[in-house]
């Protein structure tokens, strides 16, 4: 299949591109589009056959439901049997924006979208290109992130094309996504709103408006809990090389561990902040060391995280060591994605020595 491509211009309605892309959607095809979080893979959310093409292009398991994207608050009304007070308050405060609400679904939502659940996920993105596109289509747009299932989500057009060229009918290129991590998913059908996936609308922002907010316990990686968002159970965001995530005080040991891994002849990828980058300046002259530094802020890390993880697939080190961040604010979403990228290979410091969570055996180069 030929993938049509349109470069979108800021401060323009991009009328021709939007009309052509919308015509493909109306014909039941799949088109990728930018949002403020990550790129989406969109199809007519009320057309079962079109939605099936999204699953095929991504290689996505059928039991993982999709988000319906809308371009005005009122457009949620026909998709649900009704909104409770919590849902209404969340909409009022956080839409448009990176917040997806789980609500009880109405009968017009195809089973393919909700994966057979009684609920449906709905989001009103704040990205202007996304809004113009959805409006031009005139229907709710079902869209997952535009990656092949299991890979990091794409945050620029080139990363979308790397996964989707030839598999989808069109691609709207709106430049880089600002936030870089997928939307916060909140279940509003429980008495207390529950975060099923952390994202750009943080726990702190939600509690400030809503009072009590819960976090799905499965997000801590405890195997005794089954995640309520089906997508959270899959290995995700994972580069091809094994990733170890250093948490808390274990980060202090990173320079030592890196030196040892290099001495053992390994090529090492390191994902770290500015302070550690400076500390590693001397080691960084080594050919075998690839430093991916996210800069000075956690917002910058969120924006760059998926791009940096994808970059490691281009360079293919033997092992990737990631420096964790604290979990306040956007840190909760960052650590959630990093833990999944690491397949829950988490390194902590206990009584002065390194430990691999859930396992007795540390890799050789981490034994001190």
Applying CB under 6 A, which part among 22-30, 143-151, 208-216, 264-272 lies near ligand TXA?
Answer: 143-151
Structure tokens at 169: 């009918």
Does 106 participate in binding ligand TXA (rule CB under 6 A)? Answer: no
Q: Rounded to whole angstroms, how far apart are CA atoms 54 and 30?
A: 7
Q: Cα 114 to chain center, whole Å? A: 19
- The H or E element that residue 136 is part of is helix 128-137
145 makes contact with Mg ion (CB under 5 A): yes
For residues 305 and 337, is the Cβ–Cβ distance under 8 A?
yes
How many residues bind to ligand TXA according to rule CB under 6 A? 30
32, 80, 86, 100: residue in contact with ligand TXA (rule CB under 6 A): 100
Least distance in angstroms from the C-beta of 122 to ligand TXA: 9
* 206 near ligand TXA, rule: CB under 6 A: no
Stretch that binds Mg ion, among 52-60, 137-145, 213-221, 319-327 (CB under 5 A): 137-145
- Report whether 213 contacts 195 (CB < 8 A): yes
- Span interacting with ligand TXA, options 15-23, 137-145, 257-265, 305-313, rule CB under 6 A: 137-145
269 interface partner picked from Mg ion, ligand TXA, none, CB below 5 to 8 A per type: none
Q: Which residue has the tokens 């109306």?
A: 26
If the CB atoms of residues 117 and 291 are measured against Mg ion, the closer one turns out to be 117
Site string for ligand TXA, 229-248 (x = CB under 6 A): xxxx----------------
Residue nearest to ligand TXA (CB): 231
Q: How far apart are the C-alpha atoms of 178 and 24, rounded to whole Å?
A: 26
Q: How far apart are CA 221 and CA 344, in angstroms?
A: 7
Tell me: does residue 123 bind ligand TXA (CB under 6 A). yes
* Identified binder of ligand TXA from the candidate list 18, 25, 51, 67, rule CB under 6 A: 67
How many other C-beta atoms can be found within 10 angstroms of the C-beta atom of residue 214?
15
Q: What residue ranges in the chain does DSSP mark as E strands? A: 4-7, 31-33, 40-44, 67-69, 99-104, 119-123, 141-143, 170-173, 184-187, 194-197, 214-215, 243-246, 268-272, 289-293, 319-323, 346-350, 353-356
Which range binds ligand TXA by CB under 6 A, 118-126, 308-316, 319-327, 349-357? 118-126
Number of C-alpha atoms within 13 angstroms, CB side, residue 106? 14
65 binds ligand TXA (CB under 6 A): yes
The reply to whether 188 sits near Mg ion by the rule CB under 5 A is no
**CB-count exposure of residue 153 (10 Å: 0-12, 13-18, 19+):** buried
Rounded to a whole number of angstroms, the minimum distance from the CB of residue 366 to ligand TXA is 32
Distance CA 106, CA 338 (A): 35
Choose from Mg ion, ligand TXA, none: what does 330 bind? Cβ within 5-8 Å by kind.
none
Token digits for 306? 């998926």
CB of 121 to ligand TXA, least distance (A): 3
The smaller minimum CB distance to Mg ion, of residues 146 and 289, is found at 146
Q: Among residues 156 and 290, whose Cβ is nearest to ligand TXA?
A: 156
Q: By the criterion CB under 6 A, which residues form the site for ligand TXA?
A: 35, 37-38, 40, 64-67, 98, 100, 102, 114, 117, 119-121, 123, 143-145, 182-183, 185, 196-197, 228-232
User: Which residues form the interface with Mg ion (CB under 5 A)?
Assistant: 145
């Amino acid at each position: 299949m030929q993938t049509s491509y349109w470069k979108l211009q800021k401060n323009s309605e991009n009328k021709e591109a939007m009309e052509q892309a919308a015509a493909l959607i109306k014909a039941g095809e799949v088109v990728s589009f930018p949002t403020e979080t990550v790129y989406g893979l969109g199809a007519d959310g009320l057309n079962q056959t079109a939605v099936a093409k999204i699953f095929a292009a991504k290689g996505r398991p059928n039991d993982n439901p999709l988000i319906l994207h809308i371009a005005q608050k009122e457009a949620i009304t026909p998709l649900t049997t009704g909104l409770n007070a919590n849902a209404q308050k969340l909409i009022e405060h956080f839409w448009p924006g990176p917040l997806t609400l789980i609500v009880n679904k109405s009968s017009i939502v195809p089973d393919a979208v909700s994966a057979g659940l009684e609920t449906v996920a709905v989001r009103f993105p704040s990205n202007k290109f996304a809004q113009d596109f959805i409006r031009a289509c005139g229907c709710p747009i079902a869209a997952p992130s535009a990656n092949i299932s299991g890979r990091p989500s794409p945050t620029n057009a080139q990363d979308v094309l790397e996964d989707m060229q030839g598999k989808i009918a069109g691609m709207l290129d709106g430049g880089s996504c600002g936030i870089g991590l997928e939307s916060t998913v909140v279940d509003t059908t429980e008495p207390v709103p529950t975060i099923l996936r952390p994202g750009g609308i943080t726990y702190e922002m939600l509690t400030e408006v809503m009072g009590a907010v819960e976090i799905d316990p499965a997000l801590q990686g405890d195997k005794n809990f089954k995640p309520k968002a089906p997508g959270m159970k899959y290995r995700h965001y994972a580069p091809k090389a094994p990733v170890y995530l250093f948490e808390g005080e274990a980060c202090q040991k990173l320079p030592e561990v890196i030196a040892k891994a290099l001495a053992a002849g390994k090529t090492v990828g390191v994902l770290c902040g500015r302070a550690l980058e400076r500390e590693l300046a001397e080691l960084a002259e080594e050919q075998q060391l690839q430093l991916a530094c996210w800069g000075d802020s956690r917002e910058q890390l969120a924006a760059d995280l998926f791009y940096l993880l994808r970059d490691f697939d281009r360079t293919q080190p033997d092992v990737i060591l990631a420096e964790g961040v604290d979990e306040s604010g956007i840190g909760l979403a960052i650590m959630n994605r990093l833990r999944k990228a690491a397949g829950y290979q988490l390194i902590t410091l206990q009584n002065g020595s390194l430990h691999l969570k859930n396992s007795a055996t540390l890799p050789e180069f981490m034994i001190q």
